[in-house]
């Protein structure tokens, strides 16, 4: 492989000749290998484009701010912004090869982006890759920044940018439940896995829809709080390392380049460096959503059980054969797919929670474990909820006769008698039957001959 030599604090190192990244990125690739046997590599930061795009937007905003304040020559600022725009338009994932769980609190990710922008900008200015003569990754691209403020802000931005797709998928799922049941279909409600009372199937589905919308709204509020950023806080929240004018302009300029006016400076920059609890709040919402979806999917499996010895009240669309040996068997694979994805979301939340638990002193360096857990959860849920809606809920139907028969069984009838004759009288008849179902039905006909 053709290589070139670059030098950093630790000395020279060989970098792939066609790489836009430099020495510090190469060291990270070697220190945090994606795999050791050549099989099934772990994900790189480049496989999470939401994070890389966020880092690029931050660099673009910083270059704009430093230019406006006279800290960066116009040509250099323009080169950084042009390089960022080029990458944003067509993100080359292979140029961001750092393991997503690299050590160092995000330094490798920050420097990966700094080096790529510096090399691309160097070429824009007429120089050669890896010279850093016209544009330097630290002196220019990273001017008035620290990984301590860049990386947490990028983590917030990445989650914000990933959320709308999942939000839309969840609202579509809720809407599918709203229209999937005819209001005229009666249904037997159950409590403690025992028969309860007659309701409409649409009543039951309305509860599901309301729950999904409520969880979505809670998550939306948590994601919106991520618009609080700590750019300008540099090293562990110390704003003394940047000019006051930069501190005041970097937030508005980030809103400008990202077309998101909601970004706002954290009230306490030291707090923002120490405590990524707003990320954990999003993860908590995703876990709560996952547990809610598990309940919904399990209910569908139960209500669709059969075809003869189960409840068989719902007909889930058949999407694939269910057995390699039992002809005609069809399994509820879509609810089961959703349940297993939700198991993964619960595991991701455990990792995310550990990221908050183990923060020490002035800087929490575990944000990679948090943001990538959240981003993966959003990815998984978005794809799974979308296909679950299309291949399960939108094709769902109910067996009218079975639902009607179940809704007209003993407990619903006893409840109707209670409203007519009072709890004590009906309960006395039940007690006289001494646990015998056939005897109870006989006593009911004797005691209430005019009832249904």
- The pLDDT tens digits for 113-130 are 999 999 999 999 999 999
pLDDT at 235 over 90: yes
Q: Sketch out the chain's domains with CATH numbers.
A: 3-143 (1.10.275.10), 154-229+272-401 (1.20.200.10), 409-447 (no CATH)
Crossing angle of the two packed helices 49-68 and 74-89, in degrees rounded to 10? 160
- Residue 189 · residue 204 · CB < 8 Å: yes
At 452 the pLDDT is 58
Is the pLDDT reported for residue 143 higher than 80?
yes
Statement: residue 73 has pLDDT above 70: yes
Distances (CA, A) of 6 to 115, 181, 444: 11, 65, 91
Picking from 52, 45, 47, 53, the residue whose alpha carbon sits closest to that of residue 259 is 53
**Per-residue model confidence as pLDDT tens digits over 244-288:** 999 999 999 999 999 999 999 999 999 999 999 999 999 999 999
CA triple 291-292-297, angle to 5 deg? 95
Q: From the CB of residue 449, how many other CB atoms can be counted at a distance below 10 Å?
A: 7
Q: Which residues contact 232 (CB under 8 A, 6 or more apart)?
A: 144, 149, 239, 242, 246, 247, 250, 251, 265, 269
Quick check: helix, strand or coil at residue 399? coil
Place of tokens 């999470």: 48
Q: What is the DSSP letter of 134?
A: S
Q: What percent of the chain clears pLDDT 90, i.e. is strictly above it?
A: 87
Task: Calculate the average pLDDT of the chain.
Answer: 95
**Secondary structure of residue 10 in the 3-state scheme:** coil
Q: Read off the pLDDT of residues 31-42 as tens digits, 9 standing for 90 and up.
A: 998 887 767 788
- Please, which residues bridge with residue 12 across strands? 7
Q: How confident is the model at residue 433 (pLDDT cuts 50, 70, 90)?
A: confident
Confidence at residue 446, expressed as pLDDT on a 0 to 100 scale: 87
Q: Which entry of 5, 323, 427, 451 is annotated as an active-site residue? A: 323
pLDDT at 112: 98
97 pLDDT band, cuts 50/70/90, is very high
Which pTM was predicted? 0.94
Q: Is 438 a catalytic residue?
A: no
Decide: 286 and 374 in contact? Cβ < 8 Å. yes
């Amino acid at each position: 492989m053709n290589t070139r030599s670059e030098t950093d604090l630790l000395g020279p190192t060989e970098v792939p000749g066609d790489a836009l990244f430099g020495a510090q990125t190469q060291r990270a690739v070697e220190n945090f290998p994606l795999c050791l046997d050549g099989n099934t590599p772990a994900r790189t930061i480049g496989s999470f484009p939401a994070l890389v795009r966020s880092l690029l937007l931050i660099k673009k905003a910083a270059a704009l701010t430093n230019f406006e304040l006279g800290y960066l020559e116009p040509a250099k600022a323009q080169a950084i912004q042009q390089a960022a725009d080029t990458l944003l338009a067509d993100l080359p994932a292979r140029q961001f090869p750092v393991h997503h769980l690299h050590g160092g609190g995000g330094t490798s990710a920050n420097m990966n982006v700094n080096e790529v922008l510096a090399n691309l900008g160097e070429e824009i200015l007429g120089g050669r890759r890896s010279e850093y003569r016209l544009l330097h990754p630290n002196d220019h691209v990273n001017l008035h920044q620290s990984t301590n403020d860049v990386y947490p802000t990028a983590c917030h931005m990445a989650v914000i940018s990933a959320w709308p797709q999942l939000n839309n998928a969840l609202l579509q799922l809720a809407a599918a439940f709203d229209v999937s049941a005819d209001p005229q279909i009666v249904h037997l409600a159950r409590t403690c896995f025992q028969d309860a009372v007659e309701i409409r199937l649409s009543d039951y589905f309305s509860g599901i829809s309301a729950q999904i919308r409520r969880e979505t709204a809670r998550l939306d509020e948590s994601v919106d709080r991520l618009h609080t950023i700590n750019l300008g806080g540099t090293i562990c929240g110390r704003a003394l390392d940047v000019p006051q004018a930069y501190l005041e302009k970097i937030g508005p300029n980030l809103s400008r380049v990202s077309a998101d006016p909601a970004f706002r400076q954290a009230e306490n920059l030291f707090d923002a460096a120490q405590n990524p609890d707003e990320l954990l709040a999003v993860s908590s919402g995703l876990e709560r959503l996952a547990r809610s979806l598990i309940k919904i999917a399990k209910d569908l499996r139960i209500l669709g059980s059969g075809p003869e010895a189960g409840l068989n009240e719902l007909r889930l669309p058949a999407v694939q054969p269910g057995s390699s040996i039992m002809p005609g068997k069809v399994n509820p694979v879509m609810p089961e797919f959703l349940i297993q994805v939700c198991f993964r979301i619960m595991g991701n939340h455990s990792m995310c929670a550990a990221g908050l638990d183990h923060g020490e002193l002035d800087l929490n360096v575990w944000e990679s474990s948090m943001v990538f857990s959240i981003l993966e959860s959003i990815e998984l849920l978005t794809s799974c909820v979308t296909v679950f809606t299309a291949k399960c809920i939108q094709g769902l139907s109910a067996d009218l006769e079975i639902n009607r028969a179940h809704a007209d069984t003993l407990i619903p009838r006893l409840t109707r008698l209670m409203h007519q004759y009072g709890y004590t009288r009906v309960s006395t008849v039940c007690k006289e039957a001494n646990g015998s179902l056939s005897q109870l039905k006989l006593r009911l006909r004797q005691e209430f001959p005019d009832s249904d």
